[in-house]
A and B are shown apart, each in its own frame.
Chain A
Amino acid sequence: MPLLPPRWRLLVLVLAVLTLPIVTGVLWLLLTGWFDVVHGLLPVGGGSLENWRFLWTSVGGRPPLRIPLMNSLIFAGVVATLEVVIASMAGYAIARMAFPGRRGLLGLVLVLHAFPAVSLLIAIFYILRILGLFDTLLGVILVKVALELPLGIWLMKGFFDYLSWEIEMAALVDGMSRWGVFWRIALPMARPGLLALGTFALLSAWGEFILPFTLIVSSQRWTMAMYMQSFLSEAFTDFGMMAAVGLVYAAPVLILFALGQRYLLNIYTGGVKG
Chain B
Amino acid sequence: MQVQARLAREATIGRARTWARRHLTPAAFLAPATILIVLFFLVPVVATLLLSLTDISTVTFRAPRWVGLENYRYLFRDPFLPRILLNTARYVGLTLLFNVGMGLTLALLSTSVRPGYGNQVRALWLLPRIMPPVVYVLVWQGLTREAPYGLVGILTGSSRSWITEHPWTTIVLANGMVGASFGMLIFTSAIRSMSPELFYAAAVDGATTWQTVRRVVLPLLRWPILFVTAYQTLSLLTSFEYILLLTDGGPGFFTTTVWSLHAYKLALSNYYGNVQFGLGAAMAAVLVVIGVVVSVLYLRIFNFRALIGEPKIEVP
Contacts and interface: CB of A to CB of B under 8 A. Distances in A.
Q: A–B direct touch, CB within 8 Å, in complex?
A: yes
Contact of B30 (A5, A89, A146): A89
B134 A99 contact: no
Interface string A183-194: 000000000000
A124 interface: yes
A4 B37 CA distance: 48
B237 A116 contact: yes
Contact of A224 (B23, B29, B132): B132
A243 interface: yes
Interface residues of A, number: 110
Contacts of B119: 262, 265
A206 interface: yes
B117 A15 contact: yes
Contacts of B178: 274
B100 interface: no
A95 B51 CA distance: 37
Chain B interface secondary structure, helix, strand, loop or mixed? helix
Interface stretch (B8-16, B77-85, B145-153): B145-153
Interface in B262-316: 263-264, 267-268, 277, 280-281, 284, 287-288, 291-292, 294-296, 298-299, 304, 307-309, 311-314
Contact of B189 (A100, A106, A269): A269
Given A29-B139, A122-B268, A250-B135, A207 B124 contact: no
Nearest to B117: A12
B296 A111 contact: yes
Interface of B: 21-23, 25-30, 32-34, 36-37, 39-41, 43-45, 47-48, 51, 102, 105-106, 109-114, 117, 119, 121-143, 145, 148-151, 153-154, 177-179, 181-182, 185-186, 188-189, 191, 196, 199-200, 203, 209, 212, 217, 231-232, 234-235, 237-241, 244-245, 260, 263-264, 267-268, 277, 280-281, 284, 287-288, 291-292, 294-296, 298-299, 304, 307-309, 311-314
A-B interface, 10 closest residue pairs, ranked by CB to CB distance from nearest: A274-B182, A146-B40, A116-B238, A207-B132, A114-B295, A93-B29, A90-B33, A123-B44, A123-B47, A146-B36
28 contacts: A1-B111, A4-B113, A6-B209, A8-B112, A8-B114, A11-B113, A15-B110, A19-B125, A90-B33, A93-B25, A111-B295, A114-B231, A115-B234, A115-B291, A119-B48, A120-B41, A122-B264, A122-B284, A123-B43, A123-B48, A209-B241, A224-B132, A239-B141, A246-B139, A249-B135, A268-B126, A269-B188, A274-B179
